[in-house]
Structure 1
Amino acid sequence: MLRLGLTGGIGAGKSTVSKELVALGAVLVDADAIAREIVEPGSDGLAELVDAFGDDILLPDGSLDRPALAAKAFASDEARAVLNAITHPRVGQRTAELVASAPADGIVVQDIPLLVEGGMAAVFNLVAIVHTDEDERIRRLVELRGMPEADARARIAAQAGDDERRAVADVWLDNNGDEAALVQSVRSLWTERLVPFERNLRTRTPVRVGPELIPAREDWPQQARRLIARLAVVAGGAAVRIDHIGSTAVPGLEAVDVVDLQITVPDLAAADSLAEPLAAAGFPRIAHVEGEDPKPAYGAGGETDPAVWEMRLHGGADPGRPVQVHLRVDGWPGQQFALLLRDWLRADPDCAAEYAGLKREAAAAAAGLRGDEAEAAYHAVKAPWFDRAYHRAWEWAEATGWSARRPG
């Protein structure tokens, strides 16, 4: 199933978004609702809270007096730790139960107010942020919820800021206008991204795009960081390192709008062991494309064993962010050259401009073609340049002391 993490600051309008997603067919898992459920009267959670904090945290009807609990639980770090030890496992268990009960072809929306603060973004296929300017949020909290303005400002200040939210946002839903505009944005998100993403995820279908160049996007590096965080969760200890490579990793360079990432693994067996976990996370294997086969030409005229250029290639199932994930063995020529080429082009503007011109020629050669034919034509123009670039890049590496071991 597809899992969407939904969050935003207090007063931003998450409930409007979640309500519309449910109307469209999503399964909602609401963290606030679960937190209330696990401490309902008669629950083990409430009984344990009473044992820990006393029966004066109860209202006359036996339900939890939340302000009274907060006054005690947040009085010290130790008390807060006791509260978390009681509630967090129960919230986690109930969340897992609800997610597991969703249909296999479901789109699960997990509404989590503190998703960013809790560092949870990487476990979701996508994260959507509902954004409203601070002044408008304060107005809503004061006028619509009756909250004192000082309390509203304190609550907002205690949460993540806009920059922190943008860093994890795959989807940014602006709620500064009227509700109808927000609802339309949610409907477009559903039909254009979530539904096809879920289908691609379920059928293990990677998103492919033609070799059409666009101007460099400033958000490519940030998108890569989000993807790398997700891949790190999936790969775990099987990954030696994960890097942003390719043209989208070179500032200012025109590129096909596909983010290329490289997972460095200790051997091909490790790469193969990641095939199913990656596919289940939304990065299915690409069975065969130009560029996956060994490339002895890169090895300076073929003297390098072609086998050590072998790799595994995965794509992304998200139609809103095409991606290619290259799995290469640590220290093999292909793994090193992917990092070297990126760093060489970053360091040498003339070489980057030369490569940009080559890419434009390649894109022109592929114009009017589709699928494998377009990709083959694109790579055919670029291949001879790479034969020469391999030597030039390594000459630059020797002159500058470059090392593939340095983080990029």
Structure 2
Amino acid sequence: MLHLGLTGGIGAGKSTVAATLAECGGHLIDADQVARDVLDPGTEGLAAVVAEFGPDILTKDSRLDRPALARRVFGDEDALRRLNAVVHPLVRAETRARLADLPDDAVVVHDVPLIVENHLAAEYHLVLVVGADATTRTQRLQRDRGMTAEQIEARMAAQADDTQRAQVADEWIDNDGDPDAATDQVRQLWRERIAPYAANLAAGRRAPRPERPELTSPPQGPRSWAVQAEAILDRLRRAGGDLVLTADHIGSTSVPGLLAKDVLDLQLGVADLTAADRLAPALAAAGFPQVEGHWYDSPKAGLAEPGTRWDKRFHANADPGRAVNLHVRVAGGPGWRYALLCRDWLRNDAGARAAYQQVKEHLVATTGSTRDYAAAKEPWFDQVWPQIQAWAERTGWAPPQP
């Protein structure tokens, strides 16, 4: 089951995008509607809210007086916390119940206004943000809801800004102009990313990758490689729970300024490879199926006994829109240490970065596939391994404690 988180600022036009996703085949779960449903007359939720805030939040016909409740909690952090403590567990339970009725290969669209503000992005395979500038949103809210400029300003000020939303947006849907343009963008997104992702997830397979290697400059703006990597690592930590001891961004995209293939290399540290195998189903459900085969790293002298195999598990992303290589290694083991050491050496040595980039550019021009490209880099790392060791000894480098 593929879970999409849909969010956007007030007046951005999220409902239009939600309707289009539903037309494409998505199953819509509106968090605001669920929150209203769990506080209907006669529900456990309404009884709990009345017990917390008193009967004066009810109308004459024993329904929730939402404006009265809003006045009670607006500007009162303690009251809002108490309200959320009642409502949020009920919303989660009702959402789980509705999900249980859906097919395993469903695409679920979670319409949640405050994904960014409540730090919920890690709960979804993809986060879709609907965006429009403040002027457009203000005009819509005045026209469609009759809100005053002061009311609009207060609501916008209480929400995340566009930079914060962009940092969590796997996809930004521009709804600033013609609504048909936004609808077309959503339909194209469904065809090219969402539907293939759902199919890959259901089949337990990785998304296809380009055969030939290609280097690209680091992306600019709020969705840097580092920001994208951390967002995915948050999802993996949530999926793996206590089995995940460490989670790190490694490889070329973790080195600022370095040209790289647009593939994020991530590393999870686990207690042992038995734990890695126990973790595999959770990673697959999170969008990272295990890639079959015997996977191991190229050993380096001094990090393990001679002849020791650096075994690992390898997963890759089912999402066709964001290539990820996920290495699952024993935390504290030689392969785990080496990945972190190489990253930190390249981050701290400008000369090493320049030399490595030259090697990468040469290999892209002379190798025919990504597999050949990866294999051809290994001799260079063997050559510079003494330099890496010397740097580690000189600086007192140590990996983070698992």
1:31 aligned partner: 31
2:167 aligned partner: 167
Deviations 1:218-261 (A, max 9, x none): 32111101111111112222222111100111122221211000
Q: Which runs of 5+ in 2 are unaligned?
A: none
| CA contact 2:311–2:329 (8 Å) conserved in 1 | yes
1:350 aligned partner: 351
**Alignment partner of 1:266 is 2:271:** yes
Alpha-carbon shift at residue 188 of structure 1 (Å): 1.1
Deviations 1:14-71 (A, max 9, x none): 1000000001110000011111212223333334434444444333444322111222
**Alignment partner of 1:256 is 2:251:** no
Alpha-carbon distance in structure 2 between the residues aligned to 1:286 and 1:249 = 23
1:399 aligned partner: 394
2:238 aligned partner: 233
Distance 1:335 1:67, change over 3 A: same
Deviations 1:179-212 (A, max 9, x none): 0111011011111110011111111111242351
Q: What secondary structure, in the 3-state scheme, does the structure 2 residue paired with 1:405 have?
A: coil
Alpha-carbon distance in structure 2 between the residues aligned to 1:301 and 1:51 = 62
Q: TM-score under structure 1 normalisation? A: 0.91
2:104 aligned partner: 104
2:152 aligned partner: 152
Q: What secondary structure, in the 3-state scheme, does the structure 1 residue paired with 2:218 have?
A: coil
| CA contact 2:10–2:155 (8 Å) conserved in 1 | yes
Q: Which runs of 5+ in 1 are unaligned?
A: 368-373
| CA contact 1:201–1:282 (8 Å) conserved in 2 | yes
Q: What secondary structure, in the 3-state scheme, does the structure 2 residue paired with 1:311 have?
A: strand
Moved more, 225-234 or 42-51: 42-51
- Give, as a single letter, the amino acid of the residue that structure 1 aligns with 2:259: E
- Give, as a single letter, the amino acid of the residue that structure 1 aligns with 2:329: R
| CA contact 2:205–2:289 (8 Å) conserved in 1 | yes
1:220 aligned partner: 225
Moved more, 379-388 or 50-59: 50-59
- Give, as a single letter, the amino acid of the residue that structure 1 aligns with 2:257: G
Q: What secondary structure, in the 3-state scheme, does the structure 2 residue paired with 1:306 have?
A: coil
Q: What secondary structure, in the 3-state scheme, does the structure 1 residue paired with 2:193 have?
A: helix
Alpha-carbon shift at residue 106 of structure 1 (Å): 0.6
Moved more, 186-195 or 75-84: 75-84
| Identity percentage of aligned residues | 46
Alpha-carbon distance in structure 2 between the residues aligned to 1:83 and 1:301 = 54
- Give, as a single letter, the amino acid of the residue that structure 2 aligns with 1:186: V
**Alignment partner of 1:365 is 2:360:** no
Q: What secondary structure, in the 3-state scheme, does the structure 2 residue paired with 1:214 have?
A: coil
**Alignment partner of 1:324 is 2:292:** no
Distance 1:301 1:401, change over 3 A: closer
2:284 aligned partner: 279
Alpha-carbon distance in structure 2 between the residues aligned to 1:332 and 1:75 = 50
Alpha-carbon distance in structure 2 between the residues aligned to 1:82 and 1:250 = 44
Alpha-carbon distance in structure 1 between the residues aligned to 2:400 and 2:52 = 51
Q: TM-score under structure 2 normalisation? A: 0.92
| CA contact 2:46–2:64 (8 Å) conserved in 1 | yes
Alignment of 1:52-201 (within 5 A): 52-74=52-74, 76-201=76-201
Moved more, 351-360 or 68-77: 68-77
Alpha-carbon distance in structure 2 between the residues aligned to 1:204 and 1:343 = 33
Alpha-carbon shift at residue 74 of structure 1 (Å): 4.1
**Alignment partner of 1:247 is 2:252:** yes
Distance 1:303 1:270, change over 3 A: closer
1:295 aligned partner: 298
1:389 aligned partner: 384
- Give, as a single letter, the amino acid of the residue that structure 1 aligns with 2:142: V
Distance 1:303 1:69, change over 3 A: closer
